[in-house]
Structure 1
Amino acid sequence: MIGNCRGFHSIPIIDVQKLRDSGSTLDERKRVGFELDRACREVGFFYVRNHGICDDLTTRVREMSRRWFDLPADVKAQIALTADCKQKGFRGYQALGSNVTRYDGGFQRDWHEAIDLYKHFDESHPAVMAGLPLHGPNPWPTQIDGHREALETYVQECISLGADLLRGIALGLQLDEDFFGGSNAGDPFWVMRIIHYPPLELSAAPSGSESTFAALMGEEVERSVQLSCGEHTDYGLLTIVNQDENVSALQVKNSAGKWVAADPIPGTFVCNIGDMFKVWTNGLYQPTMHRVINISSAKRRISVPFFYEPNFNTRVEPLSQLCGSEPPRYPGITYGDHLQSKVFQNFEI
């Protein structure tokens, strides 16, 4: 089974309140699930409204993070991701240009700085003591009063929202409502990036004004052109993006090769599916290429994507009920192995 042609020109907005309402009926949740299913098949991206996370918290997380990125470089370096990042679980701060987008024949440095955080494990946790890859404590940013506490609260809210959205998607796929709970994604190995995108200096790009114009019009740009974050798909399950409300930067690629703006809409999150859905649905859901280009000459952008992932040791395989009479199109994979293979390529320290 292959997902529908993705010639979209806009991204659907879905009211998910019934997934959050303890008094909703199964039929009400199914109706939301069918909307999510259609969005996953036809676009791979969707906005959610009435999601239950208060605007005060989402705004506070962005504003505190903005203040943190304003700190001197030597202060930010206190939690820097350094050459021994593999031993430290790839957690911490990356300066401008540390994160890269790889492509056939090379890589391009992404023009952003970020803090990467994963599911937190205390130093005394058995997995940390055993040296299990990507397991460890987070170097939480603590220089701004209340920042860590806001982030920890936000993580818990996103875990709750992600679980609700996955219940809806399961219903849309006509699976058991709790399919993505339990041993599949009931203990998600979540990832959160806190990202600062300064304005790009597009005038310095090799192709000059033509490249600037192409980016503005949503067309392709050469690999040599500096982007805020290069073209990619997400490698997990479900991404929930909290982005500044006054900057257009996130772009999503349709089947015609055109880039559609995923501009912020007040009171919503923009969400997208990742590689693990492609495997589980045997290709019915395909992750959608996207990129970030902050083309404003005066505005910077804070974005806090939260990645709701499967459990670290979950075996992800095409579901027989979604394969029909065809053999599986994708081999099974353990999520933790997939995560490692991706993360280990993300940086040029």
Structure 2
Amino acid sequence: MTSSTFQSIPILDYSLSQGPQKPLFLNQLRHAIINVGFLYLKNHSVPASLVEEVKAYTPKFFELPQATKDKLRMANSQHFLGYSRLAAEITKGEVDQREQIDIGTEFECRYKEGDLIFTKLWGRSQWPDEADLQGFRAVVTEYFDSVATLSYRFLELLSESLGLAPDALNAFLRDPVDLCHRGKLVKYPAILPGSSDQGVGPHFDAGFLTFLLQVTDQPGLQVQNHKGEWIATSPIDGTFVVNIGKGLEAVTRNVALATSHRVLSPPVGSGPRYSIPFFQAISQHVRLSDYHLDFPPDVIELRSARGDTHVDSVNYSEFKTDYAGLANLIGRVKSHPDVAERHYPELFKKYYPNGMPLKASAY
């Protein structure tokens, strides 16, 4: 079957979901989820004042002295939370030209000897000292908590749009206070002469939903349609870019579409691009293959009409057979072999039998 495709990213108005125009919103959402896998969300419930605060803090973090940031290096953390220098992460076999700090929502690691290894993945974040960046931790924590709350409500709307009960996906979240969602602050510097333009290479996200705040006006995010064409997803003020993760695609048997995307570095001589993605977590101990969701015939017909996509990836294939936590852990190991070598030596040896690679690939 020939796949239909998209040439732009739909813009949805979240406020419509709160009133009499909810059916219109659900219809638009269903199209975006099945046929695109990406959407802009405007008039969302995260306070504009909080969004502006976290935007203001983003460049301030990266302006800290290098030694101050290096104290927070990700290699310190068995949770893969912390700071990564420029060109420290690898995607699709190439080095990403970005600097970032990965942060999780508040969570105490419960791993003990003998537990399943992936339960080490969730735990405490590393934060700069208050004296180095006053108010940063409080604002970022409040922001990620607010986006997490939005993500739960949005997932209910997504379920409804696909003809399911609003709580049909709740089994994968379990108790929301028992989840460690992840987010990051990212800086993409302008291309240096002779350097790659790969801000981050083509990839899919894990889990269920991603909510991306594009902090600056710099373009760079691109989404790959079913023909393999790259569609610009430029910043739109007051919106999140929302996309489907491989976990949600797996549990819906490809009804919800995870879509490949990448970021190109800003051009030579321009300013840096900043962004803040939030990744909605799902319970570590669920096997997505153990669940069967019964979609109405019209939704199955829409999936069939979409046809086969021509872009795929081997990453997160474990979602189809194993624990969700293991799928996420393996993805982190492949992206950050230096962290894996220190904290997960057995997995490191499995995926890097010849030792630390010059290049590696999560995808």
Question: TM-score band (shorter)?
Answer: 0.7 to 0.9
1:10 maps onto 2:3 in alignment: no
Q: How does 1:86-235 map to 2 (within 5 A)?
A: 88-102=78-92, 107-122=93-108, 126-127=110-111, 132-142=119-129, 143-184=132-173, 186-187=175-176, 188-201=179-192, 203-204=193-194, 225-235=196-206
Instruction: Give 1:185 shift.
Output: 5.4
Q: Partners in 1 of 2:149 and 2:107 — Cα distance?
A: 19
1:315 — aligned with what? 287
Aligned 8 A contact 1:34 1:171 in 2: no
Instruction: Give 1:277 shift.
Output: 1.5
Q: Partners in 1 of 2:251 and 2:170 — Cα distance?
A: 14
Q: How does 1:65-84 map to 2 (within 5 A)?
A: 65-82=58-75
Deviations 1:241-271 (A, max 9, x none): 0112411010011122211111111111111
Deviations 1:12-66 (A, max 9, x none): 00011244x4xx46xx444322221210111110000110112221222122121
Alignment root-mean-square deviation, CA: 2.5
Q: Partners in 2 of 1:161 and 1:235 — Cα distance?
A: 18
Aligned 8 A contact 1:314 1:334 in 2: yes
Q: Residues 204 and 323 from structure 1, CA distance in 2 versus in 1: closer, same or farther, beyond 3 angstroms?
A: farther
Q: Residues 128 and 196 from structure 1, CA distance in 2 versus in 1: closer, same or farther, beyond 3 angstroms?
A: farther
Q: Partners in 1 of 2:100 and 2:38 — Cα distance?
A: 23
Residue among 246, 259, 264 paired with 2:230: 259
Residue 345 of structure 1 aligns to a residue whose secondary structure is helix
Instruction: Give 1:195 shift.
Output: 0.7
Q: Partners in 2 of 1:293 and 1:337 — Cα distance?
A: 30
Q: Percent identity over the alignment?
A: 25
Aligned 8 A contact 1:253 1:288 in 2: yes
Read off the aligned partner of 1:93 and give its amino acid letter: Y
Q: Which has the higher helix share?
A: 2
Q: Partners in 1 of 2:320 and 2:336 — Cα distance?
A: 27
Deviations 1:186-244 (A, max 9, x none): 5243110111111112x415xxxxxxxxxxxxxxxxxxx44010010111110000112
| Unmatched 5+ stretches in structure 1 | 206-224
1:61 maps onto 2:34 in alignment: no
Q: Partners in 2 of 1:17 and 1:77 — Cα distance?
A: 42
Instruction: Give 1:79 shift.
Output: 0.8
Task: Give the TM-score of the pair, scaled to structure 1.
Answer: 0.82
Task: Give the TM-score of the pair, scaled to structure 2.
Answer: 0.79
Instruction: Give 1:69 shift.
Output: 0.4
